[in-house]
Structure 1
């Protein structure tokens, strides 16, 4: 098993804070009950560049932070973790090509809405309908965000720092 380096721990903490901050920002769509978390396309881009394991750990930390701050409740965490496992899993299994990244977020959202519908005992149709604007935004913005993270990651690699295992 690979030992965690201080670099890994710092990176996961930074990614968690980035996911938490953008997860706390909710953009109203105009339809009552529908809102879009800015973290969705960022999350898929993080999974594509930094890997599923780091993304999932950062996502768990982000959910914990938002829960402890009172910004998210257990339903928010259920939705977020379902999205993370499905969207991140798709990226981990099928790679980081454009079609995969465009579809990973919306598929993760659809599965998360089905899980929420089962939890609440309500029809999934209205939940999915309210999520369409957010799924569209995620599909359109994930590739540019992935390219930004890729440039940042490459720049960091050029400035190689000492990475010692704990």
Structure 2
């Protein structure tokens, strides 16, 4: 339970930080590469529970609306599916976030009836950042939270 609470806090706080971009409106939330890394290291179940709790907190605090939550949920499901289908390798981890963002933005364009191209172009800097940063964040989280085999080896 404590792990999920900490992961929820990590997703919530990292979503509050926006990295500026060269073009207005294309700033990027730090939570995407962190979310991919959490899914890889902690597994989909803990990742999705922490993500849902993070979205609920955002709704309660008024920092997110229903559209933000819908986009985040689509992103989470797609990232989980890509990692489940592609495995835990460098390229799958690198593309999981950008694929999740693409599908989430396309679904947003269907919901709000706006051009998907504009939404996708605005997301490109963030997709590149996610692709580059996901694997280093996986390595960082693995050092903080070693695999079950490594955890049990230290106990003996």
Deviations 1:71-115 (A, max 9, x none): 111111111111000012211232110000001000000000000
Q: TM-score, normalised by structure 1?
A: 0.86
SS at match of 1:96: coil
TM-fit CA distance, 1:42 = 0.3
Does residue 74 of structure 2 align to residue 82 of structure 1?
yes
**Of 40, 50, 53, which aligns to 1:58?**
50
Cα distance in structure 2, aligned partners of 1:103 and 1:127:
18
More helix by share: 2
Structure 2, unmatched stretches of 5+, are none
Moved beyond 3 Å, runs of 4+: none
Q: Distance in 1 between matches of 2:90 and 2:74?
A: 22
Matched residue count: 152
TM-score (normalizing by structure 2): 0.92
Q: Which residue of 2 aligns with 1:136?
A: 128
Partner-residue secondary structure (3-state), 2:19? strand
Unaligned 5+ residue runs, structure 1? Answer: 1-8, 161-166
User: Pairwise CA RMSD of aligned residues?
Assistant: 1.5
Structure 1 position 129, deviation (Å):
0.4
Q: Does 1:127 align with 2:119?
A: yes
User: Aligned to 1:45, which of 14, 24, 37?
Assistant: 37
1:12 maps to 4
| Structure 1 residue 24: Cα displacement | 1.2
Counterpart residue number, 1:72:
64
1:105, 1:138 within 8 Å by CA — same for their partners in 2? yes
Q: Which has the higher contact order (CA 8 A, sep 6+)?
A: 1
